[in-house]
Amino acid sequence: MSDALSSVKDMRSTPAQHQLSLDDVGTPLIETTFVIVDLETTGGGASDCITEIGAVKVQGGQVLGEFATLVDPGTPISAMISVLTGITDSMVANAPSLDEVLPSFLEFLGNATLVAHNAGFDVGFLKRACVEKGYTWPRPAIVDTVKVARASLSRDEVPNVKLATLAHFFNAPTQPTHRALDDARATVHVLHCLIERLGTLHVRSLEDLLEVSTQVPDTVRRKSALADHLPDSPGVYQFKDGQGQVLYIGTSKSIKRRVRTYFTAAETRKRIKYMVSLVESVTAIPCPTALEARIRELRLIAQYQPQFNQRSRKPEKTYWIDLTHPRLLLRAGLTGPSDCLGPFASRSNGEAALACLASARLEHDGLDLKTLASSPELIVHTVMARIQFLVQQERFEDAAQQRDRLAAYLTARRWSDNAQQLARSGLLVATAPTSQRQGCSDVVVITHGRFAASATVKDGQPLKKIVDALVATAPFCEPSLLPPAIAEESTALMLWLQTPGLRLIELDGSLHSSLTCAEKFLHVYPHLRGHHTSSRAPGKPSGPQVRL
């Protein structure tokens, strides 16, 4: 069965498989491990050295450990620095060198998020030390409490964001003394107080904290409260304005976490930022499987045509060749006519396939269009003979054009054959391992090529009872009473049916396991895959690119 629906992933003439989106993010701050670090140095220049390292590891407000050591800089400490820090040459004379200290500090840091006050200074020294000593910088996430303080405190509250000012403002139990561990402890208290304050702006994840210093208006940040009631599960979400009009539709493995990212600086798309300014409510449709979420998203976009969804919403962007008309016609629409060839993601691809059919029709004028379009063998033999003739004549540009037209036709023919085969299968029930949870499988019901129902089943649960319940409640009609599935829905189903480990549970009808005729030719002539337009570089011979 997977062979019958094979190579859909390679189709260049179909619409986009999935709406682009950001990855789901959201590490709760209470689960984030922070290492707050402070360094004392011989100065701030590129040739200066570290004299002391102090660090505190915390998680969930609790101190997990501390790291503190003097470091022999290998160079005299100036009197000014000694007055400022209290660290003298005699204090570091017997201290370990940076070669001895750095590995221990990197081990202490581990995979934690690094925090520092004016982080650029401390991180700069640590990075340079790693380069000089031959260690790989672990590239941790970095939180700068200076930037966080600037974003969350007003001038009326604090005159500046120096560590001493903030520690006094927040009544830190340890005040900074220009010694590394004391300053790190003071920064811990400042960090916790800043996080508590930012909670009113719905900054609750590490990603929110990392982005909080950027210019996100408070009016936008406060809208993240719209996600509070949403489920932390797979499904579809809809952004709506004050009149209830749907502005945008998306899907995610975690609706709540994904929606919240729209109200942070992680969202950089200008049109989406404008959409967020109009949002007044968010509704969610939880779905048991990722496939069902994808199908629901496609259907809702087709139904509401949200103005901020750029993909999957414009029927004029999908083209079909109408085989019911005596003339060769290219029509636009989310679904094609009952007898059609397609879909084509662009008019140029559709016109290339039209040209292929038109040229073949000239040599077989006794055949009607539908019969000709359904005969890949005939078209391939006709076009290949023409290609070979053109190559022999060294008309490589013309040969390449014929190749591209044939590729456009065969790719569309393959998709149409697979979609029609799926539609003729009647009731189809299959199960496949889910990518979202271990020890679970997705059960999907498809009727005449349309998604009907789905469920997630844990290993050991009675599969038959769940399948019987899904089939009993799934909408089912005769094919003539169902509108044809939109192209992207059919593609999503065909892709899911290629999932490794997929198993058929029930099949009312037939689903041939052999390759479609068009697919056979694409296997025989692999050069046709992906060639819809000539990509020959100017000035280079095109002969080798069209020899098949």
Tokens of 414: 């393959």
Q: For residues 131, 136, 138 and 142, what is the CA-based torsion angle, rounded to 10 degrees?
A: 10
Q: Rounded to the nearest 5°, which phi and psi values hold at 418? A: -65, -40
d(CA 276, CA 273): 5
d(CA 1, CA 7): 12
Report which secondary-structure segment, H or E, holds 70: strand 62-70
Report in angstroms the alpha-carbon separations of 383 from 234, 355, 409, 520.
47, 11, 11, 16
Nearest Cα neighbor of 20 from 309, 378, 374 is 309
Q: What is the DSSP letter of 41?
A: E
How would you classify the pairing of strands 281-286 and 246-252?
unpaired
Q: Return left, alpha or beta for 240; rule: phi > 0 is left, psi -120 to 50 is alpha, else beta.
A: beta
Options 168, 178, 202, 527, the catalytic residue? 178
Report which secondary-structure segment, H or E, holds 241: none
d(CA 494, CA 7): 10
Tokens of 181: 């561990």
Active site residue 178: yes
d(CA 54, CA 72): 14
Where do runs of H (alpha helix) occur along 280-395?
290-304, 347-363, 369-373, 376-392
Nearest Cα neighbor of 287 from 320, 317, 251 is 251
To the nearest 10 degrees (0 to 180), the angle between helices 376-392 and 517-524 is 30
231 preceded by a cis bond (ω within 30 of 0) = no
Report which secondary-structure segment, H or E, holds 474: none
d(CA 102, CA 71): 10
Other C-beta atoms closer than 10 Å to the C-beta of 373 total 26
How would you classify the pairing of strands 246-252 and 113-116?
unpaired
Residues 6+ apart with CB under 8 A from 538: none
d(CA 410, CA 389): 21
Q: Tell me which residue has tokens 């290219």.
A: 330
Amino acid sitting at position 148:
V
d(CA 339, CA 13): 18
What residues are labeled active site?
178
